[in-house]
Chain A
């Protein structure tokens, strides 16, 4: 299945048997309409937003790789290290802070699935895809509530899981986990 006709297509990736189409955010609705009408993806499974703040900052395990450079047991560059089962490298950098993934499914033989991915920064807005798949309503409200991603053209963009007057967007990486510090009975 080729996806060359999708408007706004920036990149196609195939990993773990899944196809990811990275699309320009400005042409998102066109791309979705194309996928629904021409390619037959009439079912929207899920809209997921991910925050990549701090991606790769943790460094790799052990002493053989840092952001600044390599250590003596580590081959040059971000290649694979023989001593670390292939995990001794920094993850690939991401273009922007937020990615919004639309998981699409075609209800026909073979159950073709595709993921449409757009990258945006904090404060940028996306077009709502409710005219394409009405089920996107609550998914986009959740993305707004949890991640703070605004959707233009959404008729009812309010908080859905948190209280209406909650401040902050909980699933962002700079939002603390909250909760109480756990005290143990032996402590003073």
Chain B
């Protein structure tokens, strides 16, 4: 993705490690590619106050209860004591979308449910993030038919897709940790990047 023959600046040139510590020498990650080949400086919020705000936002993401199908059962198990998600800041699952930051769409979304899904998403206050959990939310999964939405990103702007059918609780926790790193790195939520209505 070199522009004008020049290697694009990576997040780590700004001393931000958005990828895992073990993978320092990886190719440009998804975040860098998504933000575009131009200089990242304009895109990222890098002042101290903004870094502090991003740190606190990332460490206290409260998910909204939006369990739909099988993935919801695995989502419930990350709340349970073995894969405790409270140690990462997601202390409570808020039932009211007005009080939640993160919408974990867990399960297949039928066309009938797309309306309520969008309504819940609209009721959330910015900044808000969406994790599409599982194969069905990411892309329709094993159901390619008249009633399942082929990917929930047709309706809302998704930040992280977690693959699996259903994803192991550890996989979902990894997705939430990646989201935390993304927030702390200063990457804006998906609706700002994609320029869609939030």
Q: Which residue of B111, B143, B147 has the most chain A CB atoms within 10 A of its CB atom? A: B147
Q: Contact at A179–B144, with CB atoms within 8 Å?
A: yes
Whether B163 sits at the interface, judged by CB under 8 Å, is no
Contact B112 A162 (CB under 8 A): yes
| Partner of B144 from A162, A163, A175, A180 at Cβ < 8 Å | A180
On chain B, the number of residues with a Cβ less than 8 Å from chain A's Cβ atoms is 10
Q: Is B47 an interface residue (CB 8 A)?
A: no
Per-residue contact bits, chain A 150-188, to B (CB 8 Å; 1 contact, 0 not): 000000000000110000001000011111101000000
**A interface, how many residues as a size bin?**
10 to 19
Q: Please give the distance in Å from A121's CB to the nearest CB on chain B.
A: 24
Interface residues of B in 137-178 (CB under 8 A from A): 140, 143-148, 150
Evaluate contact between A179 and B111: CB separation under 8 angstroms.
no
B163 CB → nearest A CB, Å: 16
- How many A-B Cβ pairs are below 8 Å? 26
Question: Which chain A positions have C-beta within 8 A of B148?
Answer: 179
A176 to B146, CA, bound (A): 8
Is B111 a contact of A177 with CB atoms below 8 Å? Answer: no
Hey, which chain B residues are within 8 Å of A182, CB to CB?
A: 144
Asked if A170 and B147 make an inter-chain contact with CB atoms under 8 angstroms apart, the answer reads yes
Contacting residues, chain B, for A180 (C-beta < 8 A): 140, 144, 150
Convert B47-61 into 0s and 1s, putting 1 for each residue whose CB lies closer than 8 angstroms to a CB of A. 000000000000000
Q: Give the chain B neighbours of A177 by CB distance below 8 A.
A: 144-146
Q: A179 contacts which chain B residues (CB < 8 A)? A: 140, 143-146, 148, 150
A162-B112, A163-B111, A163-B112 known; A170 and B146 CB under 8 Å? yes
Q: In the docked arrangement, what's the CA distance between A162 and B143, Å? A: 16
Q: Which residues of A contact B145 (CB under 8 A)?
A: 177-179
CB pair B140 A178 closer than 8 Å: no
Residues of chain A contacted by B140 (CB below 8 angstroms): 179-180
5 interchain residue pairs of minimum CB distance: A178-B146, A179-B144, A179-B145, A180-B150, A178-B145
